[in-house]
Amino acid sequence: MYRYLGEILTRGAGSVLASAESAMPTTASLLRLRGYSQVSEKGDDDPNFFTMVEGFFDRGAAIVEDQLVQNLKTRESLEQKRKRVRGILRIIKPCNHVLSVSFPIRRDNGEWEVIEAYRAQHSQHRTPCKGGIRYSMEVSMDEVKALASLMTYKCAVVDVPFGGAKAGVKINPKKYSDNELEKITRRFTIELSKKGFIGPGIDVPAPDMSTGEREMSWIADTFSNTMGHYDINANACVTGKPISQGGIHGRISATGRGVFHGIENFINEASYMSQVGLTPGFQDKTFVIQGFGNVGLHTMRYLHRYGAKCVGVGEMDGNIWNANGINPKELEDYKLANGTIVGFPNSTPYEGSILEADCDILIPAASEKQLTKANAHRVKAKIVAEGANGPTTPEADRIFMERNILVIPDLYLNAGGVTVSYFEWLKNLNHVSYGRLTFKYERDSNYHLLMSVQESLERKFGKHRGAIPIVPTSDFQARVAGASEKDIVHSGLAFTMERSARQIMRAANRYDLGLDLRTAAYVNAIEKVFKVCSDSGLIFT
């Protein structure tokens, strides 16, 4: 059935479709109408990024449409229901708003420069909108629209009540001083404020490529002292801030930790591992990471901690390899000292593409469209874990399905960042850190519990040989003092990723999708977004 699925989705073969109608409620003509099959059938190996995301949406929408029609509890005819469903799906798909701005800055040498920047809001089915700000010369309107739409579905997959958004500033941050970067960041914040594209209940940015706590702190300070001057919740206008500015413990490592939990949920599932020819669990598994930035570093750290072995790491300036394993802390220290991973001791340069290296798990954590028709046939990994946004083109995705390679999709796997951003946003709105109100009560309750057990045993057996000692286990001892903010964040993230993985698995089983987790994730997201849009009603139409 798995290979059947590839036929149905990409080629629309009539005979295959006829035999699979009961298991797959879709038609080739509907897929072709909605655009996905056109992207795949043209064999385009470098599709427009936004079109690529829309294509994946169309594939999921075509599969789930009949079920959405069936679930509508209205007095309309079947034809009217289908028109309503298709209409709402058409409403969900496009980007609602895109802001393009140009503004001048004066550089340290006295020269003037005009900066281009964009902010896209894909959906306001839930507010505020949420999405990162990246600094890159590759930024374009198409890219921010694609990433904004991906954020909508990503938030839906992990049940975070935000709409999707994304921003990009078209600069190479390495060519600007800290003073110039601060000018650019603060001016961009003002431009967003003037157009109503930032605010705790409107649109909440976060860190992305080449941005971090520092930039988020500048944004929060700028907004709080201008448009948000009278708003008590002004600091909630952005997440990913330093702790001193209302940030949350665990945000920096959140995306990488989420990638780890996402892989964990599927690698421990025997039914999926048997299909790709691996044993469950991390032990004896090797992995390769493309991109040793924030996501790559923390993913590597957690996988290493739980028994997997990193044999290769790739960056723009070179790749390294060690079949015996690479220590993440040593590599992090080396990169901080030297500015590169090239030349790392106890490793050898890896000639060729690191994406095609021999390993069990491949983690592309760099940029979009890295896995294409040109290299998908040479990928040796059994699991592709998408730490980056959009690293796999539709053609490569089809090849991976045909080769029985398990692709854990980006809209689920790298959602750890937005999940913990949600926790930070709630913290800012509540104006109290997690655990502060309950920390002492929990600690005292745990000690009273131990004392109660001891007294009960002594009443039962007596104290002829002295007091009966109650020795807690090491795990309980670590928790006896109560949950810190970091404990709560880590626990909430692990629960979110596990629950979302189960939802994706159930969707895959319900629609008989086999290893096609991407479509299962989109189906899951579409069902949730559709429910919100349908229940809220359509106004002014």
* 117 token code pair: 């920047």
Neighbours of 480 (CB within 10 A): 15
Q: Which residues contact 394 (CB under 8 A, 6 or more apart)?
A: 36, 39, 40, 47, 52, 55, 56
Helix (H, G, I), strand (E, B) or coil at 311: strand
Strands (E), 170-265: 203-207
If you search the block for the tokens 């394993």, which residue do you land on?
325
Name the residue among 230, 163, 229, 175 with its Cα closest to residue 201.
163
DSSP notation for 168-194:
EE-S-GGGS-HHHHHHHHHHHHHHHHH
Name the residue among 442, 441, 466, 440 with its Cα closest to residue 454.
466
Inter-residue contact 268 to 281 (CB < 8 Å): yes
Inter-residue contact 368 to 50 (CB < 8 Å): no
Inter-residue contact 265 to 281 (CB < 8 Å): no
Given 81, 166, 335, 528, the catalytic residue? 166
Q: CA distances (Å), 312 to each of 31, 45, 208, 327, 362, in order?
A: 39, 26, 24, 11, 10
Neighbours of 441 (CB within 10 A): 10
If you search the block for the tokens 């960042």, which residue do you land on?
417
Name the residue among 249, 350, 362 with its Cα closest to residue 299.
362
Helix (H, G, I), strand (E, B) or coil at 34: helix
- The DSSP letter of residue 419 is H
Residue 380 appears among annotated catalytic residues: no
Q: Which residues contact 477 (CB under 8 A, 6 or more apart)?
A: none
Helix (H, G, I), strand (E, B) or coil at 160: coil
Inter-residue contact 264 to 272 (CB < 8 Å): no
Name the residue among 95, 148, 93, 139 with its Cα closest to residue 116.
139
Active site positions, annotated: 166
